[in-house]
Amino acid sequence: MRWILLQGMPTRLHDESENYLLNMCNILGFFKYTLKNIPDVQKVVLENAPGNFLMLAPLIQKDIINVCAKETTKAIIEELGDGIFSILVDVCADLCDKDQMTLFLRYISKKGEIIERFLGIVYVPDTNSLTLKATTESLLMEHSLSLSRVRGQCYNGAGKMQDAIHDIKTLIMRESPSAYYVHCFSHQLQLTLAVVAKKNADCNWLFVDVLTTLVNYVDGSPERK
């Protein structure tokens, strides 16, 4: 499971029967690979395991993933220690059109390296500044972190975050005056490229006429709704 999570691979597929060898799910595939190389393991897994200890049930795998997530987050908090950090916040809609907020930490390691770590993702009822500020603070408090230690804040200025940026950065700076705001460099680059592309007839045709129409068509499809 640790290897699957490290590689960002799915654990399950649409057909997970033991005889479905053409597109075997990763968990079952690893089990079968291990059986060939470690005879001792063969004695205690799959058909040789107790009926309630096959380790293949979706709920069991989700429990293992949650444990890995908690241990990873614990290691991040220990790495951060008592140091100061910056926060990177973004909001986007999932396939069900529900808003979810992601929070990253950016800090300097004990080796002097700049580190960015994913801390969590939370569904939010709306994207106004008060909600985003409260959600950010709540997620930090879950890991014994406070806004007083924040020395920087960065948000994606596109879409749902655009109207709330001014207010949320002000709210956080009231509690941590040193939490200086920096606009997302990636979004700045995106805006710059968009302006430059419009000056080129071929690029303007591709991005404005073709891709915009395609994105609007896909976004409005019944499957996404």
What is the tens place of the pLDDT at every residue in 78-123?
A: 999 899 999 998 888 777 778 899 999 999 988 889 999 999 999 9
The residue assigned the tokens 């220690």 is 81
CA distances from 122 to 10, 23, 94, 103, 126 (A): 21, 32, 11, 9, 12
Which residue, chain included where needed, has tokens 């960015």? Answer: 116
State the distance between the two ends of the chain, measured CA to CA, in whole angstroms. Answer: 32
3-class SS at 147?
Answer: helix
pLDDT of 225 strictly over 70: no
Tell me how far apart the alpha carbons of residues 63 and 31 are, in angstroms, rounded to a whole number.
18
Q: Quick one: pLDDT band at residue 1, thresholds 50, 70, 90?
A: confident
- Give dist(CA 150, CA 82) in Å, integer: 12
178-210 pLDDT, tens per residue? 888 888 777 778 778 878 877 888 887 887 778
pTM of the predicted model over 0.75: no
The CA distance from 225 to 212, in Å, is 19
Q: Give the pLDDT confidence of 112-154 residue by residue, as tens digits.
A: 899 999 999 999 888 888 888 899 999 999 999 999 999 999 8
| Residue the block writes with tokens 């079968």 | 32
**Residue pair 100/90 in contact by the 8 Å Cβ criterion:** no
Q: Determine the pLDDT at residue 16.
A: 57
From start to end of the chain, where are the E strands? 85-93, 99-108, 114-123, 150-155, 180-183
CATH number of this structure's domain 73-183: 3.30.420.40
Residue 115: strand pairing partners: 107
Q: Whole-angstrom Cα distance, residue 186 to residue 88?
A: 12
* Environment class of 183 (CB within 10 Å of its CB; exposed 0-12, middle 13-18, buried 19+): middle
In angstroms, rounded to a whole number, what is the distance separating the alpha carbons of residues 98 and 219? 14
Domain residue spans in the chain?
Answer: 2-56, 73-183, 188-219
